[in-house]
Structure 1
């Protein structure tokens, strides 16, 4: 080569490597979200790495050792640039080394075909071999490598790489794929040791570059799809958790709406819903209104805590006379409403009288310091198909019994 061409190449090679290095760390910075670029870092690392190449060339080291040293330098620099994260540093270093080595091998093989030179003239023997032409494909390779990095920063490939960086388990898989591609390219560097000027070896080198590019892409693409599936599974799990939490909250609200906290009985809302259902389905039933006798006097004389004990005692007593399919509700302050499907008023009246007698006995025991009893009124669904009317009938009979009790008490006094 003429002196002018050698001078131009000598100038272009460090410039193209600086471009390669700048594009590489721009890729790392963008995909890792590291903020503004650091020009000083780019200049220092580019200088160190280029000096490494020069020293390896002057020492005429085998290309395998040359690129191994470059990989270790690049991974170390990336590790500190990313401020930690060994897997991420190795991943980006593999991208840099695979891209740089692939385009270099490709350019060396293509140029060797064009100018009909053996691949041995493109190895690291720049001192002992005056016909060494590696500077041309190396400069072109660094330039094309930088262009590839610029492409990888674009939205679609960038999104895939960002997704992969967020999944350590799938990133490990890609690192294994890249290691395999890296070793495969290293084996292809052995072809630069032959002096044979055969087309087959050069085409083999080009084929290897295509194979590594396709293999790396497919490995990253597959891992990214696995990441998407993992994200979908995680989102699905979160949605299920949210639905479960919402269902539990709804059940809690439903329980609060349907269950009285003091007595544990159902509430008025539940009683009216069940009553409406029985009427709609035409199921025969009886209802019973029960009202505590003298609750106000107990509250006034013994306190509201005693009144609560009174309510709980009545709820427990009435629960004892209700079967599995029968419903006891606290309808109001001192009123209970019980629903008895498929039962007559006579049967229910007998049960309620027994419950009243049990309460009175408990009120006379040492367990309670106040008398207890209840008044009740029973109605049957055959008397009316209107819910309000049926409740009115039972309520009227309950107050009639309460008034009768009051009259008997006045006569006794």
Structure 2
């Protein structure tokens, strides 16, 4: 979800600067679309859960939307494909894993910690005090590892990203990260780690079911599609198709299981989730092949996408506390106001925290490189 990954990683064709620049604009624009989709889905969800009038126009639109299409899952899957397409190719240069860890830390954690602080303040204002263990666990982006909940349910994808970074670093260290056959087999194994425990339950064997690995497999699908469409590596196309087939079969089969136990993977029905995955894949493929959209507004939103992701829920808490959702047409104006506040917060956070922290990380890396060069000299 990080716009700043793109300049250093998506340029493959060194002899075609125009093509590289277009792809940069294109990837950022995709991030902008994904961020807006997540905001819209959460807004509709807020209307459904909080509106006082279930006969109003806004409530009807929100209910119809989530019944046929999950815009939030569309945005999340699009983000996953983009991260898989971009992030692994930022592991490069001298001492690449060290550089990768530093750049990821400065890119993600400072803005996240600010969002957690703001969430804490908002919770206190509503009479709720998050516990210190919960806050500290959230700071790691893997609170479940410490048996703590997310302070905001919207942040669950950060755990997926962190897991992807760790796995990719391991694959890189083993020399496997850019080998299509191994990545395809690894992605299929990740899907199986979700599917097998569900399948075994039909034979009376109870095992814990998790969806983390299935989600991570879509980031590696993004990597395989990069190898297929851009790098044109041998076996990448076959690997991509195999992973897609396995993912499709599993998605078709786990829907009823998820709905029966209401675990949140399938929220309303199978149709909106399946449509969202299909739409995200199609939009991603068309965009990569055509270098569209090349829109400066969407590209700017893409640059802000991480801040939008972190702060749109906080903006909604602020706005909806003053203007409660009713389910009527007025909610659309309230939603527009919430989006405006989100964008203002995102611009401030991006310009005065994200970019300075990213640059600080780069300066730290360059300083270490210079120190090592002096020692070796």
Q: TM-score, normalised by structure 1?
A: 0.25
Q: Which has the larger radius of gyration?
A: 1
Relative contact order: is structure 1 or structure 2 higher (C-alpha 8 Å, sep ≥ 6)?
2
Q: In proportion to residue count, which structure has more strand?
A: 1
More helix by share: 2
